[in-house]
Amino acid sequence: MVEQVAQLTEWVGEGGVVVLSGAGLSTDSGIPDYRGPSGSARRSTPMTFQAFTRDPVARRRYWARSHLGWRTIGEARPNDGHRAVAELQRRGVIGGIVTQNVDGLHQAAGAAEVVELHGNLARITCLDCGDLTPREQLAARLDAANPRFTAAAVAINADGDAELDDTDLDGFTVVDCEGCGGMLKPDVVYFGETVPPARVARSFELVCGARTLLVLGSSLTVMSGRRFVLRAVKEGIRVAIVNRGVTRGEPYAGLTVDAPLGIVLPNIVDALATVSPVNAGV
């Protein structure tokens, strides 16, 4: 592993790096991942856009679970991995960041030029008027509308959806848009929704302009993230992966490191501390 980290440090030090991050980067912040060592098998089916918009009971149950889950996601803070990415970007070796995460921790750590592929749980959108409001504002309204809601989460998923016993879901009151009375939804991409084309296009633009695509904390199980690895390989761009456990990107990677991100990334920062900042090249 020492040799791989040394090689990765050399690649990062050359600049032109674009990061593709997944849930594994946020586990040290207390947010479980989907399939890695901290992940837990979810008992409930992930919410689909169709169920959310068409089934009032499913929507109420989702908001009860998500309201509890937000207490974990909203209180999460950047970890050493997030801070290392932001520092490497500040130094000019990392350019753009494409994240599959919806926790906003890259930006909280000081990173810029972050493409939030699947959106951000900290924003609430109205499906009728399009108004965007802070999640904290909605959380306060839900607390006021549900003073007797004292359920405790069995587990929290990386998308902020908590696992609850069905008996704890009954009677939860959903609130609507204060402006138009329309349906509110977290500003994230649900199963059955399409990632906005502009985000995908910008992500491909960043990847195709990179010298190295650095995958951090993603198993690359779903095509939403793996497609960027496939494009990088097609364009002759080298791919490096740092992740705990096996990923579906290993056949395409020129370098893989199976180690904690919170250790590997700060070590790279330290190793490059005496190197002058460079043009990120993306």
Q: pLDDT value at position 181?
A: 98
90 by DSSP, 3-state: which? helix
How much is the mean pLDDT over the chain?
91
Q: pLDDT value at position 275?
A: 62
Mean pLDDT of 184-212: 95
With beta carbons less than 8 A apart as the criterion, state whether 95 and 207 touch: no
With beta carbons less than 8 A apart as the criterion, state whether 85 and 109 touch: yes
Cα 160–45–114 angle (5° rounding)? 35
Q: pLDDT value at position 39?
A: 44
pLDDT tens digits along 11-35: 999 999 999 999 999 999 999 876 5
Q: Which residues are annotated as a binding site?
A: 126, 129, 177, 180
CATH classification number, 1-31+77-118+195-282, choose in 3.30.160.20, 3.30.300.20, 3.40.50.300, 3.40.50.1220: 3.40.50.1220
Catalytic positions: 118
> Does 126 score more than 60 pLDDT?
yes
pLDDT tens digits along 216-261: 999 999 898 999 999 999 999 999 999 999 999 999 999 999 999 9
Q: Which residues are annotated as a binding site for Zn(2+)?
A: 126, 129, 177, 180
% of the chain residues with pLDDT over 90: 77
Per-domain residue ranges of the chain: 1-31+77-118+195-282, 39-75+121-188
Looking at domain 39-75+121-188, its CATH superfamily turns out to be SIR2/SIRT2 'Small Domain' (3.30.1600.10)
- Count the residues in the chain: 282
CATH topology identical between 1-31+77-118+195-282 and 39-75+121-188: no
pLDDT tens digits along 138-171: 999 999 999 988 887 777 777 778 877 777 777 8
pLDDT tens digits along 78-124: 999 999 999 999 999 999 999 999 999 999 999 999 999 999 999 99
